[in-house]
Chains A and B, each alone.
Chain A
């Protein structure tokens, strides 16, 4: 089997999923997991950038509302979808200082956000939007 051809086809299909407006998500209902009526902003340091499918995750150290430092998991679009927005696995690196805005998880003890916007002040890089 020509794995390279399969991979190229798979990535291409994934990109088409975004360009064509077909939702790339299927994993879970965002409305069930996050409070989409609330928005919060956290500021901190990248620990890890999981560039993957079905959803990428940015793990960062940031303070919660009470000021206590926690590891936050910020859910983002899948790797194929981000590729269409010129985001790659090297776009974010451990140590980057970032500001993230998103919908908080319904269960606040989990310290999760659904990404709505991200800014890296050091060079002004940013991304903003919604993803399926």
Chain B
């Protein structure tokens, strides 16, 4: 009888300890998440897409602005770049959704990593949850960068380092390979908002905060991610490196000409993010009489498949 009681007591204690070590719930992020692109409607298809020089709202440094103005969008079609992946910042910019999975330790079921499926121009992502350190600053920069995650209460907070140089917007605004990104995955029922913060000591004067919202797709088991890229000739000769000479970018006036946006807004910078900037441009902005092109309208945006 005493032995039975002892065994029972010990098993209760063990249960207590085990329960308390895994006491707090984690939010389930797995599933196929369809992007709802209204937050970035001017950028995402079928929006008008950004003009080559549209840096309004991006806190570019002088170096970042200079780099962007020297760049040509045609460099994407250079033979050595045309099948290149974007950096993980592109998860906030591209048109595809997120296929989020979980890797569990087989015996205990604890989450070792979260995964985000790749796109045709985005490498698959692994978010390590096991406390491993990031590589040294001299470590290689992979296409997916290096991700770690922790739970901040019920929010998955990630840190991404070791990214390759890539874009901040789907035009010539870019980040360097020293950029880092933090993301927070905020689930509200069947909606997921991802808040991102991008820091870049080279091309950003202040942190760049952007958001993206998704709806859980209840029907399709996979997100539609397009096909793998196949090498080919996109019309840029092998010897060419498309670029603009300093001060000679022909696309700078276009946003002003089409939409009346003042030039100092077009060229970006930290002040363009803040409400006070409106006072500065109030007398400069000339509202066009009507929408010049790609204006949306009824039926332009079918309800995303599988969402409620």
Chain A directly contacts chain B within the complex, with at least one CB pair under 8 Å? yes
Query: Which residues of A are interface residues toward B (Cβ below 8 A)?
Result: 9-11, 13-14, 16-17, 20-33, 36-37, 48, 50, 52-55, 57, 59, 72-73, 75, 78-80, 105-107, 110-112, 132
Q: How many whole Å from A76's CB to the nearest CB in chain B?
A: 11
Q: How many whole Å from B93's CB to the nearest CB in chain A?
A: 9
From A24, A29, A53, A112, give the contact of B235 (CB < 8 A): A112
Q: A23-B45, A29-B50 are in contact. Are A13 and B224 (CB under 8 A)?
A: yes
Contacts of A25 in B (CB 8 A): 45, 95
Q: Are B51 and A26 in contact (CB under 8 A)?
A: no
B124 within 8 Å of A (CB atoms): no
Q: A16-B224, A78-B227 are in contact. Are A26 and B74 (CB under 8 A)?
A: no
Q: Are A132 and B228 in contact (CB under 8 A)?
A: no
Contacts of A75 in B (CB 8 A): 234-235
Q: Are B120 and A53 in contact (CB under 8 A)?
A: yes
Complex alpha-carbon distance, A26 and B43, angstroms: 11
From B74, B120, B225, B302, give the contact of A33 (CB < 8 A): B74
Q: Are A110 and B224 in contact (CB under 8 A)?
A: no
B207 within 8 Å of A (CB atoms): no
* Closest Cβ neighbor of A27 among chain B residues: B121
Q: A23-B46, A28-B170 are in contact. Are A14 and B74 (CB under 8 A)?
A: no
Q: Are A106 and B95 in contact (CB under 8 A)?
A: no
Which B225-239 residues have a C-beta within 8 angstroms of A? 225-230, 232-236
Q: Are A31 and B120 in contact (CB under 8 A)?
A: no
Q: Are B230 and A26 in contact (CB under 8 A)?
A: no
Q: Are B251 and A26 in contact (CB under 8 A)?
A: no
Q: A20-B224, A23-B45 are in contact. Are A57 and B73 (CB under 8 A)?
A: no
B202 within 8 Å of A (CB atoms): no
Q: Are A26 and B96 in contact (CB under 8 A)?
A: yes
Q: Are A59 and B233 in contact (CB under 8 A)?
A: yes
Contacts of A80 in B (CB 8 A): 226-227
Complex alpha-carbon distance, A50 and B206, angstroms: 43
Complex alpha-carbon distance, A106 and B250, angstroms: 9
Q: Are B49 and A26 in contact (CB under 8 A)?
A: no
Q: How many whole Å from A115's CB to the nearest CB in chain B?
A: 12
Complex alpha-carbon distance, A78 and B225, angstroms: 13
B142 within 8 Å of A (CB atoms): no
B171 within 8 Å of A (CB atoms): yes
Q: Are A54 and B73 in contact (CB under 8 A)?
A: no
Q: Are B234 and A55 in contact (CB under 8 A)?
A: yes
The number of residues on chain B lying at the interface, defined by a beta carbon within 8 Å of a beta carbon of chain A, is 46
Q: How many whole Å from B82's CB to the nearest CB in chain A?
A: 8
Contacts of B232 in A (CB 8 A): 50, 52, 57
Q: Are B222 and A13 in contact (CB under 8 A)?
A: yes
B201 within 8 Å of A (CB atoms): no
Given contacts A79-B227, A79-B230, 5 further A-B contacts (CB under 8 A): A13-B224, A22-B95, A22-B305, A31-B50, A33-B73
Could you list some 19 contacts between A and B, CB below 8 A? A10-B227, A17-B226, A20-B224, A26-B120, A30-B49, A31-B52, A32-B50, A32-B170, A32-B171, A33-B73, A52-B229, A53-B228, A72-B235, A73-B234, A75-B235, A78-B227, A80-B227, A105-B235, A132-B45
From B43, B170, B225, B293, give the contact of A13 (CB < 8 A): B225
* Closest Cβ neighbor of B240 among chain A residues: A110
Q: Are B227 and A50 in contact (CB under 8 A)?
A: no
Contacts of B172 in A (CB 8 A): 32
Q: A22-B95, A31-B48 are in contact. Are A110 and B235 (CB under 8 A)?
A: yes
Q: Are B50 and A53 in contact (CB under 8 A)?
A: no
Q: Are B95 and A23 in contact (CB under 8 A)?
A: yes
Complex alpha-carbon distance, A6 and B223, angstroms: 14
Hey, what's the 0/1 contact readout for B40-64 against A, CB within 8 Å counting as 1?
0001111011111000000000000
Q: Are A22 and B230 in contact (CB under 8 A)?
A: no
Q: Which 8 A-B pairs have the closest CB atoms?
A: A73-B235, A53-B227, A32-B73, A31-B49, A52-B230, A23-B45, A29-B49, A112-B235
